[in-house]
Every structure is written in C-alpha cells, then in structure tokens.
A and B are shown apart, each in its own frame.
Chain A
Amino acid sequence: MRNTANRNILRWRVRAVVLCAVVSVVVAACGGDSGDEGGGGSTQKVDMAAELKKPATITVWAWTPGTEEAVAMFEKAYPNIKVKLQNVGQGPPHYQKVRTVLKSGQGLPDVIHMEFQFLPSFKITDSLLDIKPYLPENFLSNYPEWIQKQINLDGGIYGVPWDTGPLALIYRQDLLDKAGIKTPIKTWDEFADAAVKYHKANPDSYLVNLPGGQTGQWLGLFWQNGALPFSGDPQNLKVNLTDPKIKQVTEYWDRLYESGAISHDADFVDAWYQGFARGKYAGWLSAAWGPIFLQDYTKSSKGNWRAQPLPQWEEGQNASGNWGGSTLAVLKQSKSPAAATEFARWILSERQPVEMFSFERFLFPPQNFMLNNEQWLNRKYPFYGDQQVNKVYADAANAVDLNWQWSPIHEYVATQGDAIKSKSVDQGDGATAALQPWQDAVVTYAKQQGLTVAGE
C-alpha cells in the first residue's frame, strides 16, 4: 500500500514537472515577439557627427554581388563601425526571412536590401525606420523626381536608392539582321510584325520570350503605357488591374501568343538560360540589370547584343517603365540607427563605392551625379559590341512616369499575379483573362487584412 502511494506521488510530481515545462516553453515562445523600439520615431535632427564616433556593430542583409567590396571601403572610412554582411537569398526568400525575424523579434539585421516595390509593404507593418533625421538636408535632391517619390513616403524617407531597372529592349543584332528585321524597332505595331516575321524565318526561335508569370516585368510594361493600378494609402487603397490601359497591353501580347510568334517559358530557370545560350530567344524586354544574368550564358554571342529604347505605343512618344530596382532600408528596431543609416548613405552616395557598383557590377545607378557622369554615359560594353548602352538606359530612366505608386500588399499582388497569369497564359487563355481574377484575389485579401479598398 505504502509503495503504491509513493508511486502515485511520484507520478503526480512527474506530471507537475511536465506541465510546468510545457507551460514555460509555450510562454517563452509566445512572449518573444515584442522587440524593443530602437532609435527613430522622432523627427528631430540627430547629431550625426557625435553618433558616428561611437563604436557600433551593424548587420546588413543584401544580395547584390559587390556589396562585400563596398563594406570594406566603408569600414576603412569608419574604423569604429563593424559591418556583418549576410546574403539570405535573392528576392522572395529574402523577404520571407525578414518577415520571419520581424515576427520573432530576434536576430534582426539593421540594414536590409529592399526593392522599391516592397517599401510600402514593410512600412505598413511599421517595420522600417524613417531615416530622415539621420540624412543630410538636401538628400532627396540627389535623385531624379520619380525615385524621390518612391522613397519619400508620408513625409519621411524610408530607403537609400541603390539601383533602378528602367526597361529597354535588348536583342541579337546578328539574328535580326539574318531575318531581315530593321532596327531600331520604333513602335509596338512594328514589333508585332517583326516578331511574326522573325518566327516564320526561324521556327525554333522567338524574337522575345515573355513569361505569363513575371509580374515585375508586366507591371513595367503597364507602367510604360501610363497605367496607375495602385495607390499606397491603406485607408483608401486603389487596386485597378482591369484598367483599359492595362488591357491594351495584355490584349497586344495575347495576340502575339496566339500567333505563336512569342514564347512564354518560365524565366530565371535553367532552361531559360539555355535558351539564350542556344539562340532560342533573340531578344529580351530587359531592365538595366538584366544583362548581368546573361553574362555567363552568352559567351558565344558576346558582342552581338544591342540595346534600344522600348517600342512605343505611338510614333514619337518616349515612355518607359521600371522593373525592380533596390534600396537599402533600416529596420525600426535597429540598435544603431545612426551607424546603419550612414552605412546605407555612404556606400550608395560616395564616389568610390558607387563607381564600383556602376562600372564593375553593371548596376544602373539612381544618383544624379552618376546619371550625368560623362565617363559612365560614354562607356562602351564589349557585350553590346561596344555600344554606349548606358545612354539608352539613361534615356529610359528619364522617361519613367513619376506618378506610379506601389500598394502596401505588394508581396501578395506579385505572388498572385505570378500564379494566376502564368496559369492563364500557359493554358492558352491569355493574360487578359487573368486580370479580373487577379483583381478579385487582391481586393479580397486587402479587405481580409483590414484595408479599406477604394470603390468597394
């Protein structure tokens, strides 16, 4: 009897210990998501000179090749600031990791790579620091107006521009010459004729490839046509993906898909790179950063590539769109906001690192001083057969509509756009048929998230 009684007590003790363990672990897990507020929040000017003398360690998450060199340059200029650079992925995986650490409140970096289109999405979750107090007075005037509008949200500044992606058409001069296509191609009508003619002469090859699911590229094309499908105001969110200007673009491409003159293979995968290597695609509606990806796969066609402005909807117009482009942003919970902001500002404004990024890494610069830099404008690229390509892209950058805004739910817009449009295009239904479902999905999600959609 006594034996069982003691065994019972032991059993209860064990249960009590187990219960306590479970509860404590659960509580620890639940309680870990409130990070402390680092600096920021105040709009008073900060005494940067004093702040930057203090020793600091900052963590930077960025994926652009060449950032390590910029870090080395910065550490030389500021020996008391240590920089830890990490590449946690390119594009979607990077943002997913940022979201995860923001949620957990631990392991947060100070500075993050943030493409322009994602700035409102991270601002709405109050994740970004307004770095205006840490920047010089005339900071915005260093950039063209459309870039200013992208980073200057609600009176604050949320990112330091790194590179931009103005759209242009790059093509294989040798392949187009062989097919008898006259370049430059001035209008979209001319382009359609050229595409059909080219594919007829080369049944295994296409003038360009336009995947149904590359939302960034499509939005750039809509941007070129003057569409403004989004607004950034969460209290009066505008979502208009069925605008006639957008339909004009999708209907144009649907006709080309139907005629078989344009392919719609998925991009940035092995088969797509091989396509360029083997001459399956004679051109690409590419952003300025595009050719970097082709370097390794176009060794045999090096020197045959040319760049020209995007074809226009009407003769004589000069409009372009933008695809991608990045900034460096500072997280609100950063413990060293002054050091973090100065890092971002320094490597993206000082001559030495900016010239490294522009000349050695082929990034398209956003700064006025680079865009007007004669040496950069006149630079000849062997890949382009010694064409002065930067002039083409600089003209395109100047032709980007100022008024484009991004929605604060861009991750969802992009992933839904990718999925819905790619399915529709690959099944042969075309991109136009995907617009309404895309619109509906985005509006439903916005309302689910508590945003007020304009007109609903």
Chain B
Amino acid sequence: MTQATTTAPAPATARVPGGRRKRAGDRHGVAGFLFTLPFIALFLAAFIAPLAYALYLSVFREQLVGGTTFVGLDNYTEGVKDQQFTDGVIRVALYLLIQVPLMLLLALVFALILDSGKVWLPKLFRVGIFVPYAVPTVIAALMWGFLYGRDFGPFADVADAINVPPPDFLSQNTMLFSIANVATWTYTGYNMIILYAALRAIPSELFEAAAVDGAGAVRTAIHVKLPLLRPALLLCAIFSVIGSFQLFTEPQIFYSLAPEVIGKAYTPNLYIWNLAFADQRLNYAAALSFLLGIVVFVVSYLVMNAARRQEAR
C-alpha cells in the first residue's frame, strides 16, 4: 500500500537565499502602512489637530480690549473652581448613575428575551426597539418636548380629560428624569443590538449542556449567558458613560421650552458650548473641554478596572 506522503508547506519564515526575506518584510510593512494612511490622515486632521489646537487655545486668554495673552494654566484653575462647571459634572454623574444601569438592564432583558426564541415575530420587535436610535437626536428631543408639554401635550390632554392637574415633566425636580427617559428610549435599542449579537456568538453546545443539566430558560440566562456577555456589557457601559458625560442635545432643545430650569450650564458640554459661542470665551471653553475629558477618562478607567477586578474573582 502506498501512502500518500504530504510534506508540510514550507513555513513562511523558511530561509530564502539572498536578501529576499528582508525585502518581503519591507514590502509587507510599507503596504500595511499605506492601507492605513487614509485613516491616519483623517484621524490626524479631524481628531489630533483640533485637539492640539484646543490645547494651544486653552493656555491663552483673549479679551475684547487687550488682545491675546499667554496665561498658562489659569484657565484650568479657574475651571476647577467654577461652580457652574462642577455642578454640571455632578449633575451628569448623577444622571449617569440612574440612567446607565437602568438602560443596560432593559437592553439586557430585551436581548435575552429576543434570544430565547419564545417571542412571536422577533425580527419586528428587534427593529422596533432599534428604530428610536435611527431618529436624529434633535428630532427626538423636539418630539419629546411636545409630548412633555404642560399645556398642549398628550399627557396634559389625558390629565384634562380625567380632571387632574397636568404632570409637569420639565420642572426643576423632574427635568433630569425626563431627559434620562429620552436617552433611554433612544439608546436601549442600540445597546440591545450589541448584546444580542454577543448572545448569538455564544456556541450553542453550552446551551445544550445546560439543558442536559436541567437548567430552564431563566437559569440558563443567568448562569450561562450573562457571564459570557460580560465583555459586551462592559463595552456598552463604557460607551454609555462617555455618552452621558457629553449630554448636550436634549438640554439644548429643552432650553427653549424651559429656560429657567436648563439655564446656560445644565450639563458641562452645554456650558462649554455657551461659553464658546454665546460668550465668545473660546480659551476658557477649550480648557474646560480638557477638564471634562480628564473626568471622562478617569471614570471610564474606574469602570474598566471594576470590571477587570470582578473577572479576576
């Protein structure tokens, strides 16, 4: 009997006479670099250059009378002491603590339900829950502004019909919850899709093994799916943290409806935007942007650290 002998293919690092290996390596490197060049160029132009320019702006101060002077870290020290800025940061931190866990929980529950296969018309619900994300944020805020309307919105109409005072969704006490509601409505679908995709990637042998062991749907979800979803959940959490700190569009739109509640500094980004474009204090705004960036960086790092420590357990 003759056995077909196969020789293993020559490994890529096999010695080749002459300098061919060196040149192949060079071509490899340069080609790779050239492919990423469009991205690098865009990244530099649209990300690094503005950052560098903002950093440059933040160490100067321009006055209407007196021109531009170099002030070093003065803008930063003023920012740290600025009550409006720190209040705004605390406000979005509070908003984050309420909205992010709630939204992720909802997204998780929806993703698990859709994945369980026990839903009628799952594709319809998947798209339906995702659709709010496709609505531009400005339109969503305008729409919710109408829904929240104290005099002429639908809730007010219902309240009129049953003779109770209409709920005030845009008052001092309820504004943050109202904005959180809009954000949850918008982003739950987005997070759900990420979690759903992660669930789909879990090998089905694990579910079979769990079923063999006698686990029902809920136990499978908690003990099998959830631990494997951790990386995806962490991803969603980080995105949500970064997004929450940058809260801008909803307060901006709601300003015209309830200027006395929102004011000029409801969230740090709104404050920075007003400083830059309404007050023309671009240098101070640049410094505050970096301060906000540092806060976001620190919080994201803490979140990732907490997750890593949990995994190590």
Contact = CB atoms under 8 A, between A and B. Distances in A.
Interface residues of B, number: 43
Given A213-B259, A271-B151, A445-B279, 7 more contacts: A10-B30, A22-B44, A92-B278, A269-B257, A274-B152, A423-B260, A448-B63
A449 B65 contact: yes
Interface of A: 2-3, 6-7, 10, 14, 18, 21-22, 25-26, 29-30, 92, 96, 99-100, 103, 124-125, 212-213, 234, 265-266, 268-271, 274-275, 280, 408-409, 411-412, 415-416, 418-419, 422-427, 445, 448-451
Given A269-B256, A423-B263, A449 B64 contact: yes
Contacts of A3: 21-22, 25
A422 B260 contact: yes
B279 A415 contact: yes
A22 B172 CA distance: 45
Most buried by B among A92, A125, A424, A426: A426
B297 interface: no
Contact of A422 (B25, B63, B259, B274): B259
Contact of A280 (B52, B151, B261): B151
Interface of B: 21-22, 25-26, 29-30, 33, 40-41, 44-45, 48-50, 52-53, 56, 63-66, 145-146, 149-152, 172, 256-261, 263-264, 274, 277-282
Given A266-B259, A269-B256, A419-B264, A96 B278 contact: yes
B31 to A, nearest CB: 12
B50 A450 contact: no
Contacts of A103: 282
Given A21-B44, A96-B277, A415-B264, A234 B65 contact: yes
Nearest to B29: A10
Contacts of A30: 53, 56
B49 A29 contact: yes
Contact of A450 (B48, B63, B152, B261): B63
A449 B63 contact: yes
B50 A29 contact: yes
A412 B52 CA distance: 28
Given A448-B63, A450-B64, A450-B65, A411 B260 contact: no
A189 B259 CA distance: 30
A103 B257 CA distance: 31
B260 A213 contact: yes
Contacts of B274: 415
Contacts of A213: 259-260
Nearest to A100: B277
B269 to A, nearest CB: 16
Contacts of B279: 411-412, 415, 445
Closest 9 A/B residue pairs (Cβ): A426-B260, A450-B66, A450-B63, A450-B65, A25-B49, A449-B64, A423-B260, A422-B260, A96-B277
Contacts of A268: 256
Contacts of B150: 271
B22 A26 contact: no
A448 B25 CA distance: 59
A68 B172 CA distance: 43
Nearest to B262: A419
Contacts of B30: 10
Given A100-B277, A269-B256, A234 B64 contact: yes
B56 A99 contact: no
A234 B49 CA distance: 36
Name the residue among B146, B172, B260, B281 with the largest chain A CB count within 10 angstroms.
Answer: B260
Contacts of A412: 278-279
A425 B259 CA distance: 11
A270 B149 contact: yes
Contacts of A7: 25, 29
A271 B256 contact: no
Contacts of A422: 259-260
A449 B53 CA distance: 22
15 contacts: A3-B25, A18-B44, A21-B40, A26-B52, A30-B56, A99-B277, A100-B277, A124-B65, A212-B260, A265-B151, A266-B257, A271-B149, A271-B257, A411-B278, A419-B259
B174 to A, nearest CB: 14
Contacts of B172: 427
